[in-house]
Amino acid sequence: MKTASYSPQIRIVPLAVPNGRYQTGKQTLQPTELRTERRIFLLTRPLHCKIEKQGQYWFASNEEFAIEVPAKTRSEAERTFAEAFEELYEFFIEMQHSAATDGVRAKQALFQEYIQAIYQR
């Protein structure tokens, strides 16, 4: 078994992975659907996310959408990630196209590329 990295401020806990090897607290999450209290987002392809435990907290992140959220449990991190995705969606999609900068239009296009359908709950 490999030992976990340790520093006085952050301790990364090793986690078992399906093939029996150990890794530091990094795992991947590739949802094709994100559920929040108000919506279900069906995605056109898996969204590549990292799930990582640092100390007592879990972090869920995605580089494309620049989302990173902390939580106390893995399931809470997954739920909080979906809520952050929904908040970003609302912010970028509701912005008037004529008032948007190139960066905002790029994010709007990214959402349109990833989202196949949205269902209200």
The Cα diameter of the chain in Å comes to 56
Residue 37 is classified by DSSP as S
User: d(Cα 60, Cα 55) in Å, to the nearest integer?
Assistant: 14
The answer to whether residue 15 scores a pLDDT higher than 60 is: no
The answer to whether residue 7 scores a pLDDT higher than 90 is: no
- Listed in sequence order, the DSSP H helices in 21-101 are 74-94
The answer to whether residue 101 scores a pLDDT higher than 90 is: no
Please report the pLDDT score of residue 18 as a whole number. 46
Question: Are β-strands 22-23 and 15-16 bridged in parallel, bridged antiparallel, or unpaired?
Answer: antiparallel
Q: State the pTM of this model.
A: 0.76
Higher pLDDT, 13 or 31: 31
Residue ranges covered by each domain of the chain: 15-120
Percent of the chain with pLDDT over 70: 79
Please report the pLDDT score of residue 114 as a whole number. 96
Please report the pLDDT score of residue 25 as a whole number. 60
Residue 65 is classified by DSSP as T
